[in-house]
Amino acid sequence: MSYTLEIQKLLLKNEKLSHSEDKIAQLKQAIQIADVNKDLDWGYELRLNLISEETNLPYLIDSFPAFAWMLDALESHPERFDEEGCLWLYKWTATAAYSYADTLYEEVEKIFSDMKERVLKNGFSLRGYYSPLIYWEILQGKVENAVHYLELQKKEKRDLISDDEDYELDTQVEMALLRQDFDEAILLSNNFSHKSGNGFFPFATHSYMTYYLHKGKDNRAEEYFKKSITGLTNLDKSIKCVVDCVSCLINYAAHYQTKTAWELFEQYAELEVKSMDSMSFTFSKNVLPLLNQEGKIELNLSHKLPYYREDNLYDIKDLYSHYYNKAKELAQRFDQRNRTDNFKQLLQKEIDITL
């Protein structure tokens, strides 16, 4: 059987799969076949598909080596491959890179420099480039820098590698929330198109609004909590940022709707285990208010969790210690990498509120 036929059969089988993890496994088989047969064209296209598929997940395992291979192919055979096709994925790779605490600061900066050069070389505006850069500044606690890049982004023309309007609107709302301009955030949030392909927006935005309005002692948090719960109902729980958003809802519900908070914890705690470090930190930090109590509780949790118990009976203080220690360890690693104390401050604020 021709190896190209083997690849095509795997791709046809892939079309019938519904879970990204299963699709990625098939694509890796196809990539191996292409590489063994030294077929660069198939190798490039299959890796493009693999990265696109992994963008749906809350973790990054195979995209880094796949993208490095693609960049090397572009450098070695510039006449053979279309560089424009991978620029959209460069944004995802950059975001994922700084979302892992072990990625060196210099490596992150190098990624942004290379991405900017390639974007301009191919005749695109910097609108898409600014999207991951804004969140890189937020991750470091440099909100003023993020605001600066957001204003620059608005001046750039929209093109094929720009994020869609709902994604950009979500960023604008988050910036308003970080500045505690809640009226502006609410005004902006009314402009969603509700056309997000996977239903992620405006659910994600409403979740962040619930969290920040609550922290700002704004009673309107309850309204957005209800909207978020409604939006969560039909959402694919494996979408990459769902675990981030749900932790915001758990944080709020821990104070007002404990039963709902525990239900969300049961359903989504498993996703944190394989999430990128930044999401794992946020989840671990945000569940602390729920876990800051005495006693035992019966929970139906996944066996994939490191603290899983067959009897389903958990000491709540043990759960608190697990997530506090995880958040503290990640905060130290991120702050050391970022050369700031932003993560330490975020964790301390949560502890101060919890106590």
pLDDT of residue 159: 93
pLDDT of residue 241: 82
pLDDT of residue 148: 97
Token code pair at residue 107: 């490596």
DSSP SS3 for 314 = strand
The answer to whether 120 touches 143, Cβ cutoff 8 Å, is: no
Nearby residues of 201 by Cβ (< 8 Å), 6 or more positions away: 166, 167, 169, 170, 192, 194
Token code pair at residue 7: 């690849």
Nearby residues of 99 by Cβ (< 8 Å), 6 or more positions away: 60, 139, 276, 277, 278, 279
CA distance 213 to 219: 7
pLDDT of residue 23: 92
pLDDT of residue 52: 86
The answer to whether 87 touches 161, Cβ cutoff 8 Å, is: yes
pLDDT of residue 195: 57
The widest CA-to-CA distance across the chain, in whole angstroms, is 66
The helix, strand and coil proportions of the chain, stated in percent and rounded to the nearest 5, come to 70, 0, 30
Only one residue has tokens 């990498």, namely 337
CA distance 96 to 104: 13
- Which amino acid type is present at position 333? R
CA distance 272 to 203: 19
pLDDT of residue 57: 78
Query: What is the DSSP code (8-state) at residue 180?
Result: T
pLDDT of residue 84: 79
pLDDT of residue 196: 54
Query: What percent of the chain clears pLDDT 70, i.e. is strictly above it?
Result: 97
Query: What residues of the chain score a pLDDT lower than 50?
Result: none
pTM: 0.92
CA distance 243 to 259: 18
Q: Is the dihedral of CA 134, 109, 128, 68 positive or negative?
A: negative
